[in-house]
Structure 1
Amino acid sequence: MKLLKSAASPFVRKVMVTLHETGQLSDVEMLDVSNTPLAPDSAVAAANPVGKIPALIRNDAPTLYDSRVICRFLDQRAQAGLYPERRLYDTLTLEATADGMMEAAVLIVYEERFRALEQVSLDWIEGQWLKVSRSLDALETRWMSHLSGRLDMGQIAIGCALGYLDFRHDARQWRTGHDSLAAWYKTFSARPSMQATAGPAS
């Protein structure tokens, strides 16, 4: 299998952490690509018509794309239990929350980087950050018991989302008012899988 990836993508990092946690890293060849919303890499466009990474090229089956699809496939392949049946929908909801945070955070970067200065909308940027802020509040008030439980994909996704906030939006100081979440992340980010994938997206 081959993984189309970029070290700066939080969605790629989620897949990489999953590979580490499930012991499948050696099964996948890593292919670094240069991909932007205005100029998708030709390999990415061929693998994923939406033009986004990550994409997992399989030897004997269609390419998989979207990090949620890839992570679910890798978990099933390794029988790792990262989507536990007993709390499946909580795990999926937490993963969706993390992915929503990452998408909003990435869109802020795109707005500032790929639009002409006079076209940048500060209101739109703040609207995206509001999604992140509400999610942080929800994690702090509703999800700490789940985050503190047995490792699952919800935790991996949230860890990668918070790492991306540190990487791209550190000035927003997401830890303020989220003491329990900050303490959890300090512990979670010390996991070998998180340390190994830290790179520029840490």
Structure 2
Amino acid sequence: MISEVLIVASPGRAPRIECLGGVAGRRTEADTVHLVSAAATPLGGDTMRFRVVVEAGAVLRVRSAAATMAMPGTVTMESRAHWDLEVDGLLDLDPQPTIVAGAARHVTSTRLTLGDQGRVRVRERVQIGRSNERQGFWSGSVHADTDGGPLLRHRVELGAGSVTDDELGAPRACVSELRYPEATFEAKGTTLELAAGGCLATWQGDRLL
């Protein structure tokens, strides 16, 4: 299944939302949109595409009603999620965690373009496995640019077969949070100030708190 969501935030009006497939968007406050599942997705073979546009002077908060559960399919184990973010206003993107269940493989990619007045907070939380499951795999990448040039190139892998996989003690959970233009904030894990402005905080462990 291919699911597509488009959210466009303009100043002084309600966000415009267009949806196709297994994910829908619902406006829950004047500047807040919640993503909800309209069908069981992502299963192996599924692709979810999200495009978020925040125009200059607009504010948008994107949340999800529940965790995303990536499940293996009957033909393939791998599902994908793509986020395309165009931000000239203020975007706060903080969905519920992604849980990679069973032997599923889930790959996410985020491409962020910030305009001159763009401000952003993007948080991603991932857990490999439900109770007593450790065989799933997740890979996530972030490609962020400002009008002045590159901001961040970042990629993380977790789970079975990842570069961090180790029999003695491999992380199975991750939290990444990108903020711009803030140079620092209070966060668990490690916070890295970026050369072009903004900062990235990362944490890894066995289970999400």
| Same fold flag (TM > 0.5) | no
The normalised TM-score by structure 1 is 0.26
The normalised TM-score by structure 2 is 0.25
> Relative to total residues, which structure has the larger helix share, 1 or 2?
1
Greater relative CO, 1 or 2 (CA 8 Å, sep 6+): 1
> Relative to total residues, which structure has the larger strand share, 1 or 2?
2
